[in-house]
Amino acid sequence: MSVRIAVITGASSGIGEAMARLLARRGWRCVLVARREGILRGLASETGSEYEVCDVADRAAVDGMAARILERHPSVHLLVNGAGILVRGDFVETPLELIERVLAVNYLGGVWLTRGLLPGLREAADVDGRAHVVNIASIGGAIVFTPAAPYSASKHAQVAFSRSLRAALRGSGIDVHTVLPGFVTTPGFPHPKVFATRLGRLVVVGPERVARDILSAVERGRAEVVIPWFPYRLGAIAQAVAPTLTARVLRDAEYEDEA
């Protein structure tokens, strides 16, 4: 097999950074994507990776980046759509510009980049037998989380995209994996206050744990994974069975202030 190429968005911190470090240790050649060039350059140097500075909310920029990547790497074995932002608030008061922004970053950017890199993914599947797309969504994509309603809606869209993409690519040699982490200790994503308690901290995981579980899901061909399973999978079940009650319980959750 040729050198395995992985493209990772949101690679400058959090889960994306953890994925880059883990894959580099496993012998992958990574292309790191984010907006902060200084951080990307340092991480690329540490991990022996390449980098592309790109705002995934800019469709033209994403198209150009995909073309540059394919020019260097005609085969792309793994795409990790990990770029994401949090927008708190509801659909009544949140500025419309922020709602558009969160949809573009969390959902549309992944759609655009997947389409742009699809020829490389197909090439990898044809030559090496398998390629993968990982969409890092959120448990907020399975549960209506009213205190961050625009974020939750964007993640619902991302989950629907990921699940339908897997069906569309069935038989192509390209596996699509939907990842739904719970609360993770990542910059820019403050947690509800309940998770600052001793009990709450038991269900908050680090980005390294998420990265390991993602790689395991890829290697085992798992279509969808919730990280950690308990208690977040139970929340998704509650949403499906009793959506009104679940939304009411989560409505008044308060966040810790960001540092």
End-to-end CA gap in the chain: 45
Q: Which residues of 81-116 are buried (b: 16+ CB within 10 A; e: fewer)?
A: bbbbbbbebeeeebeeeebebbbbbbbbbbbbbbeb
Based on the residue annotation, tell me whether 51 is a catalytic residue of this protein.
no
The answer to whether the Cα torsion of 167, 184, 13, 6 is positive or negative is negative
The catalytic residue among 51, 107, 151, 232 is 151
- Number of Cβ within a 10 Å radius of residue 71: 8
| Distance from C-alpha of 14 to C-alpha of 258, rounded to nearest angstrom | 15
CA 254 to chain centre: 24
- Which residues does the annotation mark as catalytic? 151
